[in-house]
Structure 1
Amino acid sequence: MAALRAQAEEPYREAMKARYGIEAPTAFGVRMNRVQAIAKPLRRRHDLALALWDTGQYDAQMVACHIDDPKQVTPEQMDAWRATFDNWATCDTACFKLFDQTPHAFGKVREWSALNDEFGKRAAFALLASLAGHVKGGPDEPFLEGLALIEAAATDDRNFVKKGVNWALRSVGQRRSPALKAAAREVAARLAASSDRTARWNGKDALRAFAKDDAKRAAKEAKSSA
């Protein structure tokens, strides 16, 4: 905690909300690269991570996400931490720095997608997006189930849910197997044709991202064959 206070910057703390939309009243204002530098020598310190999280202090919780041992993280801990999410940065960092490395991750995607609170539901799709980017190989089935959850949640117009759903759809469609990429494009096309405004936005935005990827790939192939 002393190390975090020593790295605090008031202008950065003020910018967190104004520039990045992070609502964190307890934040000291420590830049992420400094959070990571403090966390680096403390990796796999489960008890310390729990103690830091329990402070309720934003920067300490960010360190906790970086240092916890995913092998020791229980489903109960994941639920307890998720229940306290009150900003997108803590939610997303917990998901892509820690939770996606646990064997409980896909189960929590299913459970949390049924939640009603904004950050709890975002956590489901932030976790799915993280799994799509970080899991190497494996079966397609959990991600196919994830696509069904995405489609079911695509009409939720709350900002952080909407953006989480969109992130997950794009991640599956850009980072997984050819079959999953095709399935994600089918979901995006259905959403783009929806009568619901939020679903339409999700589908069209994902289709634009996929088209951009396809164009880059075609240009790269053309260059290599020239």
Structure 2
Amino acid sequence: MRFEEIISKLKQLENLENVLYRKQKFGIESTNALGITHKDLNAIAKEIGKNNELAIQLFDSGIYEGRLLCSKVFNPKDVTEDLIEKWVVTFENWEICDSFAMKLFSRSKFALAKILDWCNRENEFEKRAAFAIMASYCMFDKKSENELFIQFLPIIKEASTDDRLYVKKAVNWALRNIGKRNIDLNKEAIKQANEIVKLPSNSAKWIANDALRELQKDGVRISDYPRNIYRK
């Protein structure tokens, strides 16, 4: 597909009522949005396939859904640090932040470096990106040993007092995903949550209590990375 064809298709799918609905229902405030569903965007992305040149054109179009498509069709192996830094500062809501973090950044060679860098950023969605990458990386990387993920726990504790909604939700998400990576990390995450809950912060208490509810409930689904890869 050519760039012009994709833009034409996006404009044909425009639904401005959906833009308002998404803002009211999910808190997604977006500039130059067309209100296209992810189902439709995923269908277009599948038709495009991986195409870095088109992805950059789509991002630079300034159309919100064009930027979402960029995150879906750019090959993570080819992303550069310059592009990552160019894109992250434009994030204006949790949806586009998570789309790039999960589909692109967490699968790139810069994932760990950006976790360590962005966890100290001041901007809400740049900081959220660090923990969205962390949460996604826990499930994407099936080979790293527990020590890598245990090193994330102090970072989570430090960020747990940030009371901004989309930061604390991502911090909670990362803690829960570490705890669901395998049974040993489940114990470590629970241990850290029990430390976080003692902090004099409403945000920290919410993060910890929510994580503890999920990680300790009967029937919680826990993976077995990396050990299960050796059992095949």
Task: Answer yes or no: same fold by TM over 0.5.
Answer: yes
Q: Deviations over 1:112-139 (max 9, x none)?
A: 0011110110000011001112221222
Is the aligned partner of 1:83 residue 2:89? yes
Question: Alpha-carbon deviations, 1:87-136, whole Å to 9, x = none?
Answer: 11000000111111111101110000011110110000011001112221
Matched, 1:133 2:136: no
Query: Which of 52, 58, 61 pairs up with 1:52?
Result: 58
Partner of 2:199, secondary structure, is coil
* Residues in 2 aligned to 1:51 and 1:5: alpha-carbon distance in whole angstroms: 16
Match of 2:32 in 1: 26
1:92-103 equivalence runs, <5 A: 92-103=98-109
Which runs of 5 or more structure 2 residues have no equivalent in the other structure? 1-6, 222-232
Query: How many residues are treated as equivalent by the alignment?
Result: 215
Map of 2:166 onto structure 1: 160
Give the C-alpha shift of residue 217 in structure 1: 5.3
* Structure 2 residue corresponding to 1:123, chosen from 126, 129, 137: 129
What letter corresponds to residue 156 of structure 1 in structure 2?
A: D
Deviating beyond 6 angstroms after TM superposition, the runs of 4 or more aligned structure 1 residues are none
Correspondent of 2:189 among 171, 180, 184: 184
Q: What is the match of residue 216 of structure 1?
A: 219
Contact 1:49–1:67 (CA<8 Å) still a contact in 2?
Answer: yes
Contact 1:66/1:98 (<8 A) preserved: yes
Equivalent residue in structure 2 for 1:173, among 179, 189, 201: 179
Q: Percent identity, please.
A: 35
Contact 1:43 1:69 in 2 (8 A): no
CA distance in 2, matches of 1:118, 1:171: 21
Q: For 2:111 and 2:161, how far apart are their aligned partners in 1?
A: 24
Superimposed CA distance per residue, residues 167-200 of structure 1 (whole angstroms, 9 cap, x where no aligned partner) = 11111111x1322221111111111222222111
Hey, what's the Cα distance between the residues in 2 that align with 1:75 and 1:195?
Answer: 37
The TM-score with structure 1 as length reference comes to 0.91
Which digits, 9 at most, give the CA deviation of each residue in 1:42-74, with x for residues without a partner?
122011111111122210001110000111101
Q: Classify 1:41/1:23 alpha carbon distance in 2 versus 1 (closer, same or farther; 3 Å).
A: same
Kept in 1: contact 2:214–2:220 (CA 8 A): no
Superposition CA RMSD, Å: 1.4
CA contact (8 A) 2:135 2:178 kept: yes
Partner of 2:204: 199
Give the helix-richer structure, 1 or 2.
1
Runs of 5+ consecutive residues of structure 1 not aligned to the other structure: 219-226
Shift of 1:141: 2.7
Question: What TM-score do you get using the length of structure 2 for normalisation?
Answer: 0.89
* Counterpart-to-counterpart distance in 2, 1:113 and 1:51: 29
Q: What letter matches 2:192 in structure 1?
A: V
Q: Could you tell me how far apart the structure 1 residues matched to 2:21 and 2:54 are?
A: 29
Residue 108 of structure 1 aligns to which amino acid in structure 2? K
